[in-house]
Amino acid sequence: MTKSAFIYDPKMTRNILREDHILRPMRLRYVYELLDAYNIFTKDNVLIQSPRLANRDEISSFHQTDYVDAVKDFSSGKNLERQHLYNFSDSGDNPTTTGMYESAALSVGASLVAAETIWNQNTDVAFNAGGGFHHAMPGYAHGFCIFNDIVIAIQEMVAQGARVAYIDIDAHHGDGVQHAFYDTDQVLTISIHESGDYLFPGTGQVEEYGKQSGRGYAINIPLAPGTSDKTYLWAFKTIVPPLVMKFEPDILATQIGIDSHFADPLTHLKITTFGYKKIIEELKSLSPGRWIAFGGGGYDMSAVARSWALAFATMSGVELGPTLPSVFTERYGLQHLYDVETTTTDPESDANPMHIAKKSIQTIQREIFPLHKI
């Protein structure tokens, strides 16, 4: 039976970036409450693991020390006239807030706890829904992300000799993680996302496939707006399993953002909860027995709660009933685990997304597969 850990503490839900900011940490509480309403935490194979604060040295293993110190200053209201040097601004994507250093350090610490429980084989699966900040760069904040908990956790596992396959299904390209491992063959990074031609951060083209010893170990699958479950799953199954199986990782790491959902206000993909669950099942089939998962994007609160509950249940080998528990329904008004209203697709509307996906796939098969002798 799969042993799984859900990394959570109510402190992870409290940092408000700005009252009108679209990233709302409260979404983590909804995921926890829904799983709790399903009684998943009473299962013998499931546990709740408390996070910890990452220390300065751990954070600085990826981030420049001047940046780490600046974030700490901004967090306590000091030196705010310098915030623009690190891509912070009051009205932009990355506002400075009181306590933001501690909040970001807690996210990093939660991912390190997840990595430790996996590496020590205390659990088979660990999910930090409060992590997944894949845009953060060594010296600046980027795309709602302050510290890159994913990179720091993976670096810790690599330092202990692990080969890590990282798969990013967020609608946005995982640029910060790609940047960190672009020149190494110890980490395989795969990002399947809405094309940077249409969406932040504007990167993640197929031609970005690594350098030096990392040549061929950065994989990008850009997709067109309007991509549905069918096209997405076809692209995923065609590219991801052959590369992961050839790589033979010790650990699977995944960023499972759900901003690919058709109701998400920031993106233009058309993934449903049905398709999302199938993607998680595909990821599970690729796990070598140790799997660390991070949260990520997701800005429709209903989609986040339902999808990440589905994801953790799938990781844990638990089947959730399609009708939401009454306690959750009474509290939030939601009734169904899976989408009731879904997008409608027809051959004509699917034609362009499939055409773009095929171009990405053909390029990967032509340029990258031979580097892996596939």
Annotated catalytic residue 268: no
DSSP per-residue codes, 209-245: ---GGGTT-EEEEEE-TT-BHHHHHHHHHHHHHHHHH
| Sheet of 46-49, strand order | 46-49, 4-7, 125-128, 291-294, 251-255, 164-168, 187-194, 218-223
Residues contacting residue 57 through CB under 8 Å, at least 6 positions apart: none
Number of neighbours of residue 234 by Cβ within 10 angstroms: 15
* Cβ contact 55:61 at 8 Å: no
How many whole angstroms separate alpha carbon 177 and alpha carbon 218?
Answer: 10
Burial class (CB in 10 A: 0-12, 13-18, 19+), 123: buried
Q: Please list, residue by residue across 271-300, b when 16 or more beta carbons sit within 10 angstroms of its beta carbon and e when fewer do.
A: bbbebbbbbbebbbebbeebbbbbbbbbbb
Rg (CA), the chain: 19
Cβ 255 vs Cβ 150: under 8 Å: yes
Residue among 63, 135, 193, 261 flagged as catalytic: 135
- State both tokens at 298: 């997701």
Query: Catalytic amino acids?
Result: 135
